[in-house]
């Protein structure tokens, strides 16, 4: 059974799913903005003057703009989707390795900020 041939109880309007995706992308945009600010302060404090490094750091801005653009796109698609278009996102959620994110995407009432420190997992250093 694929995501479009499912019992009614596990489906949701495509517009709702696209809105949830847009919300997640907006949360990520805020995280990128915060990181950009932090890295900017660290760079200023260390007086890095390497032009190549500075250009690479500008990718934070590009990343934030792209995330915001895709969020706007998903939200606009959702607004244009017919109300009777339904999808079961549960099978697709198994491809999402972060359980909190998967739950927010498919479950009613599971919405909370993606960057909420109280709900954050363990910190991993690579």
Q: What is the 3-state secondary structure (H, E, C) of 19-87?
A: HHHHHHHHHHHHHHHHHHHHHHHHHHHHCCCCHHHHHHHCHHHHHHHHHHHHHHHHHHHHHHCCCCCEE
pTM of the full predicted structure? 0.76
Plot region of 90 (φ>0 → left; ψ -120 to 50 → alpha; else → beta): alpha
| pLDDT confidence of residue 89 | 95
Rounded Cα–Cα distance for residues 3 and 31 (Å): 30
| pLDDT confidence of residue 2 | 55
Rounded Cα–Cα distance for residues 21 and 115 (Å): 15
The β-bridge relationship of strands 86-87 and 12-13 is: antiparallel
Rounded Cα–Cα distance for residues 121 and 124 (Å): 9
> For the chain, which residues make up each domain, given as ranges?
8-111
| pLDDT confidence of residue 118 | 41
10-residue averages of pLDDT along the chain (126 residues): 57 96 96 90 74 78 94 97 94 95 84 49 49
| pLDDT confidence of residue 59 | 87
């Amino acid at each position: 059974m694929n995501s479009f041939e499912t019992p009614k109880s596990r489906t949701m309007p495509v517009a709702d799913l696209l809105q949830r995706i847009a919300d997640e992308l907006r949360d990520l945009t805020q995280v990128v903005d915060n990181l950009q600010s932090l890295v900017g302060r660290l760079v200023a404090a260390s007086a890095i003057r390497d032009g190549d490094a500075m250009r690479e750091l500008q990718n934070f801005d590009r990343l934030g703009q792209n995330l915001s653009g895709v969020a706007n796109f998903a939200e606009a698609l959702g607004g244009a989707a017919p109300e009777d278009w339904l999808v079961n996102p549960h099978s697709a959620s198994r491809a999402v390795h972060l359980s909190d994110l998967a739950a927010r995407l498919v479950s009613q009432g599971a919405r909370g900020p993606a960057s909420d420190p109280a709900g954050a997992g363990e910190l991993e250093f690579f």
